[in-house]
Structure 1
Amino acid sequence: MNQLQSMRVFVKVADLGSFVGAAGALDLSTAVVTRHVADLEARLGTRLLNRTTRRLSLTESGTTYLERVRHILDDLEGVEQMVVARNHEPVGTLRIVAPVVFGLHSLAPVVQSYAARYPDVVPDVTLADRHVDLVEEGFDVGILVARHMRSASIVTRRLTTGYLTVCATPAYLAQHGTPTRPEHLLSHPCLSRPAEQGGEERVFTGPNGEVRVRPTNAIVANNTEMLRQFALLGMGVAILPSYLIGRDLASGRLVPLLRDYRLPQIEITIAYPSRLHLPAKVRTFIDHLVEYFQQPGRQARDPRTVAPARSVTESTKVVADMDDLSLPELAADAARPSHKSARSRIAASSPF
């Protein structure tokens, strides 16, 4: 028989002084209660109860055993209550992993507002542009950008949608001309990630259907924030996600190009291990993320539908003045969190 259950039965018999009474309290038969106590005595090799036809009494060994067992059962109940509380109340450390650029530009404000709402949870954020195993590495929640995953042990939920934007500075466009069709990118230096070296084919959808072009790479960087800085310095044309350059477009520092064409959208999703017995800290953080990005003004907008902040001519001086900014100053500006939204093995990294 189950030793733990036998211990519980023995305590109940000792408290009530009756096999029959214990059987009724535990919703068991008297025979089963008797068997539990007999099994304990056989395991211990000693008698715990003195039995007569009229009453039960504890032996000396039974008294000692009862005292210790009662402490064990009380401790066990306390542990169970603590675990249940942690599953129903948001407490403890919440381990979050997200791609570097998305984390720097979009994640800080939502983590701050969550921490303010649930002060008993300690967010532990890891930014990583690599493949991450949520289960093996002990992460509670992962954010995926433009990645798809299939795994029976991982659950995904859509968070928001980002948009890819072809852009350049007004100063660059004033000097090199403004491309108006995807084919025009072939005559402009393009800024790309390493995976795109050699020219990645881009598929645009325009007024006359699909247009496929393979832009010429001029500068390559393994981080989209660095590509943004190159673009802000007027070094070429870049294709960057809306959550990264929303403020640049709104201020006129970057100008959206090819407004009659669109690139595939970027799906941003949440991933977490299994729906079964989901801890409260994970459940509330996922709900908070979704609520945050659904608020007005935080959903990413397609730059093609937003009127430019200034004309190219009007903006040229604004961005030309930025030539005096040092690279660290540009990096500091980029590091400020933006409120613009955008297999157990997953990719926390992103090509964007």
Structure 2
Amino acid sequence: MLDRLTSMAVFVQATQTGSFAAAADKLGMSPQMVAKHIAALEQHLATRLLNRTTRKQSLTEFGRAYLERCQTVLAEVDAADALAQAVQVKPQGRLRISAPVTFGRHGLIPAVTQFLRDFPEVELELTLSDRLVDPVEEGYEAIVRIGPIDENLPMVARPLKPYRLVACASPAYLSEHGTPLEPADLARHECVLFAPWPTDLNHRWRFQQGGREVEATVGSRLSINDWGAIHSAARDGFGIVLGSEHAVAEDLAAGRLIRVLPDFEGPSRPMHLLYAADRRMTPKLRCFVDRMIGTFGDG
């Protein structure tokens, strides 16, 4: 059984070119197949569309009216196909993303807002949380994760620039307690810790200098589960903190905080963008991944 839309397209082409042979050449089929499509339409409609002689063909009165309707129908089909292609190509719809709190607040937000300016038909729901989010179970299309990645995780893990930490304190604290010159000096200072980090990471701050690792054991009377509060404690002059380079950049530039141990590169943690390995890469997700790699990619 011949497809009726195809038969309509053949009929339109036959009337526009003036002959079955010319239509066949245009459509890449035989003149006999063109004739079959026209005959199938006429049989379905139970009326003749074309008056045919050995020398020429012309539309019947019904054929002229039917031609106009066929052209309208085919134009609508083309428009529907174009809409489907636009949906497949154009980023649009809601995108659910999760990221750690401090990186999200101080590093990610400018990239997110610019992404939304560039793609006005995308809506982005950003959840900031320091817990280990399960993107599949919780319905996130992508997450940013800081720390080592489980190799058995059924996710695509795209590496981002390491999450770099900077040791810093307020001018008032350093004026009162002195400035550490070596990582080992931190043992004699007040250090404010980030409670969610593992104990080993919290109490052993690892620095790099000249390709070698220098570890400092630190103690603390104050640990907090929120970077904003740690930041406040540092600016209040209580102690030395390890802060994300994104989060402390403005205070360092303004002199409200001072980097300590500037000759040592601060600790860093791996950071990745994760998304489901079996998830169909929609245009909105593809564009978001590309933007993240372009902005924060490790390379």
Shorter chain as denominator, the TM-score bin is: 0.5 to 0.7
Distance 1:16 1:222 in 2: 76
Q: Structure 1 residues 143-152 or 171-180, which shifts more?
A: 143-152
Q: Which residue of 2 aligns with 1:77?
A: 78
Distance 2:154 2:53 in 1: 59
Distance 1:152 1:41 in 2: 57
Judging changes above 3 Å, is the alpha-carbon distance between structure 1 residues 175 and 115 closer, same or farther for their aligned structure 2 residues?
Answer: same
Q: What TM-score, normalized by structure 2, do the two folds share? A: 0.66
CA RMSD of aligned residues (A): 4.9
Give 2:264's match in structure 1, choosing from 261, 264, 275: 261
Q: SS in structure 2 opposite 1:131?
A: coil
Judging changes above 3 Å, is the alpha-carbon distance between structure 1 residues 209 and 8 closer, same or farther for their aligned structure 2 residues?
Answer: same
Letter in 2 for 1:182: P
Q: Which residue of 2 aligns with 1:202?
A: 205
1:25 corresponds to 2:30:
no
Letter in 2 for 1:286: R
C-alpha displacement at 1:83, in angstroms?
5.5
Distance 2:280 2:187 in 1: 48
Give 1:282's match in structure 2, choosing from 274, 279, 287: 287
> Residue deviations 1:144-181, cap 9 Å, x none?
666769899968485x6653111222333344443333
Q: SS in structure 2 opposite 1:178?
A: coil
Whose relative contact order is higher, 1 or 2, with alpha carbons under 8 Å and at least 6 apart?
1
Answer yes or no: is the 8 Å Cα contact 1:14–1:58 preserved in 2.
no
Letter in 1 for 2:255: G
Answer yes or no: is the 8 Å Cα contact 2:166–2:259 preserved in 1.
yes
Q: Which residue of 2 aligns with 1:211?
A: 214
Answer yes or no: is the 8 Å Cα contact 2:143–2:275 preserved in 1.
yes
Distance 1:185 1:225 in 2: 22
Q: SS in structure 2 opposite 1:195?
A: coil
1:233 corresponds to 2:241:
no
1:164 corresponds to 2:147:
no
C-alpha displacement at 1:276, in angstroms?
8.1
Distance 1:34 1:126 in 2: 59
Distance 2:155 2:28 in 1: 38
Q: How does 1:292-331 map to 2 (within 5 A)?
A: none
Q: SS in structure 1 opposite 2:199?
A: coil
> Residue deviations 1:37-61, cap 9 Å, x none?
566678x58567467554365695x
> Residue deviations 1:296-324, cap 9 Å, x none?
xxxxxxxxxxxxxxxxxxxxxxxxxxxxx
Q: Which residue of 2 aligns with 1:131?
A: 133
Answer yes or no: is the 8 Å Cα contact 2:92–2:119 preserved in 1.
no
Answer yes or no: is the 8 Å Cα contact 2:135–2:275 preserved in 1.
no
Answer yes or no: is the 8 Å Cα contact 2:156–2:275 preserved in 1.
yes
C-alpha displacement at 1:243, in angstroms?
0.8
Q: Structure 1 residues 5-14 or 231-240, which shifts more?
A: 5-14
C-alpha displacement at 1:110, in angstroms?
5.1
Q: SS in structure 1 opposite 2:186?
A: helix
Q: How does 1:167-178 map to 2 (within 5 A)?
A: 167-178=168-179
Q: What TM-score, normalized by structure 1, do the two folds share? A: 0.58
Judging changes above 3 Å, is the alpha-carbon distance between structure 1 residues 198 and 110 closer, same or farther for their aligned structure 2 residues?
Answer: closer
**Identity across the alignment (%):** 25
Answer yes or no: is the 8 Å Cα contact 1:163–1:266 preserved in 2.
yes
Task: Determine which structure has more spread, i.e. the larger CA radius of gyration.
Answer: 2
Q: SS in structure 1 opposite 2:207?
A: strand
Distance 1:173 1:27 in 2: 83
Distance 2:185 2:176 in 1: 15
C-alpha displacement at 1:71, in angstroms?
3.0
> Residue deviations 1:197-235, cap 9 Å, x none?
534243322369323345335433343333222322233
| Consecutive unaligned residues in structure 1, runs of 5 or more | 295-352
Distance 1:64 1:133 in 2: 56
Letter in 2 for 1:240: G
Judging changes above 3 Å, is the alpha-carbon distance between structure 1 residues 221 and 35 closer, same or farther for their aligned structure 2 residues?
Answer: farther
Judging changes above 3 Å, is the alpha-carbon distance between structure 1 residues 263 and 287 closer, same or farther for their aligned structure 2 residues?
Answer: closer
